[in-house]
Structure 1
């Protein structure tokens, strides 16, 4: 984050849309689309600034900016709180990790400006309050990352691993046990799986437990009584 071009507006650090998108590993179009879809959640001056007209011309004139913004009629600048909402909309590990780094290495890096002695106590109080806010934000980020559910690709991987494990337990797709007991064994597997992870459906497994889910599938074996049924069914085929 140290290579981000510093932009100050209204006595705070902000980021342009393209900077935020690059940090979060997404595109400016997606940032803009998420903003439009959730515009009622954003407050001008708190989450963002929209520069236009003379204010935008002054901004362009006082800074070296991306040439692609030369003909921009409205420029959005995102505050720390605005970046938080965008990270929440994206809800990816990349976005949350980037947000934490932005908080530490960009938004909250203060310029070394001299302070009047009489304002020192107020400055210390503000710094302590700000530190408490940062700890709260990081706690929220940690909670949200921990509560993220597995994505569609991970769900597919779990499905395929489960199918392979159950079919192997049945003695293969051509076995008599597969023909007679596949529904029962699959039902038993998913019942144990959901009970172990305490979820109503496998798609609700937290992303942080994905590796554990794959390990569970690899180690899963039918119960003793179910294994006896499988062996009996397959022994009939052998006879």
Structure 2
């Protein structure tokens, strides 16, 4: 059963990837027979469905030719002429809009991809070789910048950068508690609460579950944040109260 289903999937993927776009005097079209085969319906059923679309379009004062163009074809060894439609990209949109599930998604992905590739090819064919080279270089540059941007927006800091933040945090805690010899710093409870408050505020500011998952693009800002952090509320009062004891001792 697995091999049977797997072969069906492969045949469907091949069918989707082999959609042929027709260039008719600069207009890009798809044969309704190919669409029927792709979405796995009888061609006659698709023709009937398209006929309904055309009636609705014409009743609504739309040009049906912008969506579906009547055409014919013959079969080898048979002189009889059969009806078909040449479907524009807008027509494909209309067919796909009525479909749901996997078939609809795959058909949409296939025709959009093929139309875009053909349009790109046509736009390039009208350019000089120099312009084509510039265009291709620009595309590669955009693709490279997109990958760099993706990495910057998804890559987290490494161990060395994590250690840098930890060292900055240690320095900040010493400062805000009044130095390593201060009562507030020597009080393990207050010192622990200060570390907890710093990283809690840090996680809220950078929307992360740990400073270790800070994004590379935010690293410089993260160092500034840790260096500039200051306690507030009850923690600040506890620090001041603890250190005031040294002043009166």
TM over 0.5: no
Q: Relative contact order (C-alpha < 8 Å, sep 6+): which is higher?
A: 1
